[in-house]
A and B are shown apart, each in its own frame.
Chain A
Amino acid sequence: MGETEKELLGRCLAGDTAAFGGVVDAYQDRLYSFALRLLKDPAAAEEAAQAAFVKAFGALHSYDTVQPFAPWLFRIAHNACMDALRAGGRTVSLDAEEFPDLPDCARAVDETVSDSLDSERIETLLASLPAIYSEALLLQYKEDLGPADIARVMGVPEGTVKARLFRGRELIRAKLKQAQPF
């Protein structure tokens, strides 16, 4: 975006609704991808991302402009995803036609595993993890957030985040070892 994030947010806070379009442009892929990888359902992910943007707009006055914006927005997206997971029903859809972007998890067991972690493999591995681990890993490595920010996003103590990151990595390591037993 041409304007800086701060300028855009300033305009939003001043009541310029159209300026929020810049925020949506900047974050829609990030928020949608985050929600998609947690919910594993494109429709539910779009719904959660939309709900997160609308809630963020409604709560913008409570955002502390001194703090970074991304963790605040991801916190709202996290809550929207948790609501969607709790609501259940349409959280998992791995049918190839309905969900062509992500590979079929079942293939990972059968196919020959090479040493490299290509994006298809890592996508599969993350999708096979419980949401609490994949979320922590995604926030740290994909969104480049530190444990303190991840703790704020997930609403858990920093120690819990570190434990989840460790456990998530261990689970991936175990899955890789299982698929490549030599």
Chain B
Amino acid sequence: MDMGTGQRDRLAAAIAALPYRTPTTGFRARVMAAVAAEAAAKERLGWAIKGLAGLTASWAGLVGLVSAGPLWRLAADYAPLAAEPGGVSQLARLLGARAALLAGKLAAGAAFARDLAGIALAYLPPAHEIALAALISAAVIGIAAGRRTAAQRI
């Protein structure tokens, strides 16, 4: 039971002829202010992300720079060993032992950091927490970079 075509057309024409309402004065200004606020918030977020990415890249660069020397020395220590007869298997065993040692150190370091963070979060004000985090980061980088040659450590 549809409406007759004529009536439907009249309905279509009547709806099409409805006037558009106008919002109150200042609506456009409010919208544009909200849009500008949204754009500013987006820009701030963009800068924050860029800053974070820059900081991360700086740290990564620093770690790379500090660990380049020890890694080169490590390679220099192991290269003659690998050249000897049966040296490859010996090298594999040595590297396995070093990896296990490093894993143990990392696990102990993580547990220590976790305990320290628990205490810091419970008692320290935020500024001290940040300072402590920076110190811990520097210590971790220092440990990872090392000062001794691989031969001395094995």
Contact = CB atoms under 8 A, between A and B. Distances in A.
Interface size bracket, B side: 20 to 34
A28 B31 contact: yes
Given A21-B28, A126-B15, A170 B2 contact: yes
Interface string B10-28: 1111111111111110011
Given A29-B21, A32-B21, A32-B27, A17 B36 contact: yes
A30 B12 CA distance: 17
Contacts of B31: 24, 28, 49-50, 53-54
Interface string A124-138: 001000000000011
A173 B8 CA distance: 9
B151 interface: no
A69 B13 CA distance: 24
B2 A30 contact: no
Given A25-B28, A29-B20, A170 B14 contact: no
Nearest to A139: B15
The SS class assigned to the B binding surface is helix
Interface residues of A, number: 39
Nearest to A25: B28
Contacts of B1: 170
A13 interface: no
B30 interface: yes
B11 A172 contact: yes
Given A24-B31, A54-B31, 11 more contacts: A32-B22, A33-B21, A58-B42, A117-B13, A119-B18, A122-B14, A141-B11, A141-B12, A166-B2, A169-B3, A170-B2
Interface of B: 1-3, 7-8, 10-24, 27-28, 30-32, 34-36, 38-39, 42
